[in-house]
């Protein structure tokens, strides 16, 4: 079975207090896909607790895939723009 970072984030969030928010960080980043290709993005997301600390391993690029793993619509995810 292939590693799924989004599923790992869901397991982490299941252990967290549900007051986390997603912060959009408008800085370039890149990630390797399953084919080994490096994909560039102009922004990324981090998940932050209510106390302002970021949750380890909760950095990602695709909000729609994150929403799908959480089984909720994208519009229901609390996103803060950190521009």
Largest CA distance in the chain: 37
The token pair at 20 is 């986390």
* Structural domains of the chain, count: 1
pTM here?
Answer: 0.87
pLDDT tens for the chain, 83 residues long, are 345 889 999 999 999 988 999 999 999 999 888 888 999 999 999 999 999 999 999 999 999 999 999 999 999 999 999 86
Helix (H, G, I), strand (E, B) or coil at 29: strand
Measured at the CA of 35, the angle between CA 30 and CA 38, to 5 degrees, comes to 20
**C-alpha to C-alpha distance for 3 and 25, rounded to whole angstroms:** 24
**69-83 confidence digits (pLDDT tens):** 999 999 999 999 986
Enclosing domain of residue 40: 5-81
């Amino acid at each position: 079975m292939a590693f799924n970072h989004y599923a790992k984030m869901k397991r982490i969030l299941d252990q967290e207090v549900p007051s986390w928010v997603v912060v959009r960080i408008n800085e370039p980043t890149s990630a390797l896909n399953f084919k080994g290709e490096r994909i560039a993005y102009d922004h990324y997301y981090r998940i932050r607790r209510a106390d302002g600390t970021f949750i380890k391993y909760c950095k990602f690029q695709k909000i729609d895939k994150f929403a799908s793993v959480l089984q909720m619509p994208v519009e229901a995810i609390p996103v803060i723009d950190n521009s």
